[in-house]
A and B are shown apart, each in its own frame.
Chain A
Amino acid sequence: MIRSHVLICAGSGCTSSKSLYVKEALEKELVRHHLEDEIKVVQTGCFGLCALGPIMIIYPEGTFYSMVTVEDVPEIVEEHLLKGRVVTRLTYKDPAKEEESGPTSLSDTLFFKKQKRVALRNCGVINPENIDEYIAMDGYTALGKVLTEMTPEQVIQVIKDSGLRGRGGGGFPTGMKWQFAANNQADQKYVVCNADEGDPGAFMDRSILEGDPHSVLEAMAIAGYAIGANEGYIYVRAEYPIAIQRLQIAIDQARKYNLLGKNIFNSGFDFDIYLRFGAGAFVCGEETALLTSIEGHRGEPRPRPPFPAVKGLFGKPTIINNVETYANIPEIINKGAEWFQAMGTEKSKGTKVFALGGKIRHTGLVEIPMGTTLREIVYEIGGGIPGGKKFKAAQTGGPSGGCIPASLIDTPVDYDTLTAIGSMMGSGGLIVMDEDNCMVDIAKFFLRFTVDESCGKCVPCRIGTRRMLEILDRITEGKGEEGDIEKLEEMGYSIKATALCGLGQTAPNPVLSTIRYFRDEYEAHIKEKRCPAHVCKALAQYSINPELCKGCSLCAKKCPVGAISGELKKTYVIDVSKCIKCGVCMEVCKFGAVEKK
């Protein structure tokens, strides 16, 4: 009789921290102690606390162990599983509580308390490779309900009433999109899932695909019924091998149970899903480029109108939704539109999954009701900034988004409030920056990414963003000129207005938003040739502190360009005009006399 379940995260993050070796070691150890009939080991999807992986949770107590290694396993088995004594040195400690407040249960941690897991409801709870466990959590009940009790119009109405908006970044009302596709008559229609999560630092969709793939399959079948489509495609990026594997297993299992295929639940409705893989192009996450790619062409966007709901894949009416949007659908059908409406703000209902990254303690995945403030996300759920550093800004929306400065940290996060302050929700990537980040450098990082990923079809993006990047490069190399900021602004706004697709239309956002809130940093780079955060190497000024210099001459010997001069036992001096800012002098000085400003 199984009396305890040990859940081990097998998402990409923990797997790369060797969680599968931990699982193997655990299974061996259980056999050694003759516990294999009492303890069940379950591999699950992402719990969200990726910075502290491998994660292990023991039920029924809900004890939360973090950073578990293979060496820890014998102790956990003997102490906790056999004798019931929690191994406190391995339990997760809430950084907010200084003293060891005893073994923390999962739901007591500040990290989880403020979260509301809807899209991530099964991640970290079930084994994603077992369809029966998905069914135990009411999986496929929504599909059953839809096919036996509801008409397609009723399904669309529920989704419309719920207020669900696209979670891929656009925030377009999902019910309305389905309605458009349902209205168009055609001999064939398609349901597509955009799983080409391309934003750097975003892994919300990956975790859902790895941890709860059936929720997406079920939702796509429901969508197919609603709009009148029998075929679905999931376009998943090839860089997600575990997600691809889990999806294929899930599709096979669903087909075996006839939850996909012909005449599902004897309703006369057929639906099947096929996988298509991306090949590394960020632009293929843009809906029309994605469809073009499935059709077998180079991923390039198309002008709209006509929108995919009218003329999409292979010219037929198509709905294309994001993974997280789909993950919400079964719950909305099962629990009703009102239940969903009760969460979130007036115009942004429900929850949003965020991937927290950058200068934050709890790097990982969180799901919170819309309307939660940035302060709560950073300091309460995120655990604050490590090293006691000051919060400077948070970037949302990846390369398409903007930054939220510290002065606006009490902004409630939802689609419209973020757009109003010059950022956007985006797909959910949230990068936290502290006083040691240079905002000009950050803008350059994101713009370099979009320039690289531009498909080249339209002039504003192909040429315009590149010219903007050239200006940013000059500025960060100390060659900024008067008028550069104005040029960036002018070009930015023109590109936003004229580019063919979302990539180009949003590429200038990081630049425009950092100029809006951190203009002084740009001016320091240009007018004073100074980087306030000491990041831009070319603007760094190296100097020797005369009080600490012992005159050993090591730096002068190592300097590749002979920029340091002096006499033995006397203070050495760096000639700033010759210095190439390589930093070798600082590395070799044994007295810490070289300073960087």
Chain B
Amino acid sequence: MKTLAELAAIREKMKDKVALREEGSAATRIVVGMATCGIAAGARPVLNTFVEEVSKAGLLDKVMVTQTGCIGICQYEPVVEVYTPSGKVTYVKVTPEKAKRIVEEHIKGGKVITEYTIGNK
């Protein structure tokens, strides 16, 4: 490579790939229930969609997407809990399409999608 611009290009491309290792308190966490009930209800595609969307939004180093075990409300799986500085929101019966909306409106836009939450059932 001959220019600083080329170096910067490699850096930008790779930053996302190592962003997952950013140690530190992620202010926002998206926790997807991945117990047997969750997996059976289709939580894995949901988890993967969250990771993809957060990565596309360039937020992989600020938003942690992770799994957890059985939350307890198995009939509502896939369950996703979103923790932000303003509190915790529990979304139920999440699908990959809903996941995309959650990232767009809640994570990026800061607005809870109440129709998807547990309180709405």
Contact = CB atoms under 8 A, between A and B. Distances in A.
Given A135-B11, A136-B15, A148-B4, A3 B69 contact: no
Contacts of B2: 258, 263, 265-266
A85 B39 CA distance: 13
B18 to A, nearest CB: 5
Most buried by B among A7, A84, A258, A266: A84
Interface residues of A, number: 36
Given A5-B20, A83-B67, A132 B4 contact: no
Given A83-B35, A83-B36, A2 B3 contact: no
Interface string A2-44: 1111010000000000000000000000000000001000000
Interface in A243-280: 257-259, 263, 265-266
Nearest to A117: B23
B11 A141 contact: yes
**B interface, how many residues as a size bin?**
35 or more
A144 B18 contact: no
Given A1-B48, A136-B15, A85 B23 contact: no
A354 interface: no
Contact of B23 (A62, A84, A133, A148): A62
A84 B21 contact: no
A64 B73 CA distance: 29
B29 to A, nearest CB: 9
Nearest to B64: A60
A137 B32 contact: no
Contact of A136 (B14, B34, B65): B14
Contact of A83 (B1, B10, B21, B34): B34
A84 B32 contact: yes
Nearest to B10: A135
Contacts of B14: 132-133, 135-136
B69 A265 contact: no
B19 to A, nearest CB: 8
Contacts of A259: 1
Interface in B10-57: 10-11, 13-15, 17-18, 20-24, 26, 32-36, 39, 47-48, 51-52, 55
Interface in A103-150: 105-107, 125-126, 132-133, 135-138, 140-141, 144, 148
A5 B23 CA distance: 12
A379 interface: no
B47 A3 contact: yes
B69 A61 contact: no
B34 A132 contact: no
A82 interface: yes
B4 A125 contact: no
B52 A1 contact: yes
B10 A84 contact: no
A75 to B, nearest CB: 14
Contacts of B22: 60
Contacts of B48: 1, 3, 38
B68 interface: yes
A138 B11 contact: yes
A61 B33 CA distance: 15
Nearest to A264: B2
Contact of B21 (A3, A38, A59, A105): A59
B66 A84 contact: yes
Interface string A364-407: 00000000000000000000000000000000000000000000
A490 B33 CA distance: 73
Contacts of B18: 5, 125-126, 133, 136-137
Given A3-B47, A3-B48, A107-B24, A257 B1 contact: yes
A60 B61 CA distance: 9
29 contacts: A1-B51, A1-B52, A1-B55, A2-B51, A3-B47, A3-B48, A3-B51, A3-B65, A5-B18, A38-B48, A59-B21, A60-B66, A61-B64, A62-B23, A82-B34, A83-B35, A83-B36, A83-B39, A84-B35, A125-B18, A133-B14, A133-B18, A135-B11, A136-B11, A136-B14, A136-B17, A136-B18, A144-B7, A257-B1
Interface of A: 1-5, 7, 38, 59-62, 82-85, 105-107, 125-126, 132-133, 135-138, 140-141, 144, 148, 257-259, 263, 265-266
Interface of B: 1-4, 7, 10-11, 13-15, 17-18, 20-24, 26, 32-36, 39, 47-48, 51-52, 55, 64-69
Given A133-B18, A140-B7, A265-B2, 12 more contacts: A5-B18, A5-B20, A60-B21, A60-B65, A83-B69, A84-B68, A85-B35, A85-B68, A85-B69, A136-B17, A136-B18, A141-B11
